[in-house]
Structure 1
Amino acid sequence: MTKHNALPPSPADVRVITSDGCSIGAHSSVLASASPVLERMIERAPRGRNAGCVIRIPGASTDAVVVFLRFLYAPVR
């Protein structure tokens, strides 16, 4: 299992492209609720092949994005 496959398996409507070119699936509702900046990026992002949007984060490595997404998807305790 790769690092980004450890995230929720349901169909993602956003692809996050990291600085090293990795594409990681995420859900626009999760990203938008976490940050108004991400919400604006999603609203303005180009649509991919399957109508999902693509967000590029040039300054973030795959490891950093995976940690960030795991934090967003973690259950509140």
Structure 2
Amino acid sequence: MLEKMRRASSVTRVEYSLMFIFGTLCIAAAFAPLEESIRIAAVGTLFGFTAGIWVSHLVQVLQRASGARTADIAG
């Protein structure tokens, strides 16, 4: 697993790091002793960031795979 992370591109490593950071903050905010409405807004926002980065990463992976397949067919 660690070897795969070392071989991953720097963009992928940054995306995974951001997902981990925002996911951890989301969990921390869920259990924080804040007013309920503030806690709900914080968790929703942090989860939105996490999900947005994840969807962006999936689109990027699909684009790379599609480009590789197109290059294999053309070449």
Band the TM-score falls in, shorter-chain normalisation:
under 0.3
Q: Kindly name which structure, 1 or 2, has the bigger radius of gyration based on alpha carbons.
A: 2
Q: Which protein has the bigger helix share?
A: 2
Q: Which protein has the bigger strand share?
A: 1
Provide the TM-score with structure 2 as the length reference.
0.25
Ranked by relative contact order (alpha carbons within 8 Å, sequence separation 6 or more), the top structure is: 1
